[in-house]
């Protein structure tokens, strides 16, 4: 039985969206900042914070996926062509894929470099692979490339929302805003 789509996203969907957006922006900023710092206790602390937040985003994306699967989102605007709808679905799929792949690549990288993650300094996260210095370097490059890809995809996501808001004058942007 098909139930009609709601007009707006649920409060939970909006909260997860904006919480993860803030966390991801923070992770990207911290990640790019800390990578060029000289080795120091401060840099090691930044890496710990980055890893803690990355594990948190990894957990939240799975919660968000469960919520998304169990709660139907609002329908796309009627004026959207089939190719635009396909692009929107592909963009959302790519966002979710990167929100999984980036923390996973970081986890694999830490494992390969022999530096275990201890979530918030309390819960040890098991290594996924054995220590391998060369693989660790390759995974670091992958982690950075995926992060740049995510940054570009987020820019496209925001541009599409603003395009809907200012060009089409529909409620695509407003229905995800926290106040609505």
What is the rounded CA–CA span in Å between residue 99 and residue 94?
A: 8
- Per-residue pLDDT averaged across 47-59, rounded? 96
Per-residue pLDDT tens for 85-108?
999 999 999 999 999 999 999 999
User: Is 151 in contact with 28 (CB distance < 8 Å)?
Assistant: yes
β-strand partners of 123: 119
Residue 180's pLDDT is what?
A: 53
Phi-psi region of 117 (alpha: psi -120 to 50; beta: other; left: phi over 0): beta
pLDDT digits (tens, 9 = 90+) for 145-158: 999 999 999 999 99
Global confidence as pTM: 0.89
Question: What is the structure's pLDDT at 1?
Answer: 44
For residue 24, the surrounding DSSP H or E stretch is: helix 11-35
């Amino acid at each position: 039985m098909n139930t009609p789509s709601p007009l707006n996203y649920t409060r939970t969907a909006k909260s997860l969206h904006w919480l993860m957006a803030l966390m991801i922006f923070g992770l990207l900023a911290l990640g790019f900042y800390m990578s060029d710092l000289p080795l120091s206790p401060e840099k090691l602390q930044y890496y710990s914070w980055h890893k803690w937040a990355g594990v948190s985003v990894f957990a939240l994306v799975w919660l968000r996926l469960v919520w998304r699967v169990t709660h139907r989102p609002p329908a796309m605007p009627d004026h959207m062509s089939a190719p635009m709808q396909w692009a929107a679905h592909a963009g959302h799929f790519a966002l979710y894929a990167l929100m999984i792949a980036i923390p996973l690549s970081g986890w694999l990288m830490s494992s390969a470099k022999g530096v275990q993650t201890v979530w918030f300094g309390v819960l040890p996260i098991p290594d996924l692979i054995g220590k391998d210095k060369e693989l660790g370097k390759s995974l670091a490059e992958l982690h950075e490339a995926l992060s740049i890809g995510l940054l570009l995809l987020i820019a496209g996501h925001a541009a599409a929302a603003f395009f809907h808001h200012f060009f089409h004058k529909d409620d695509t942007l407003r229905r995800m805003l926290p106040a609505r």
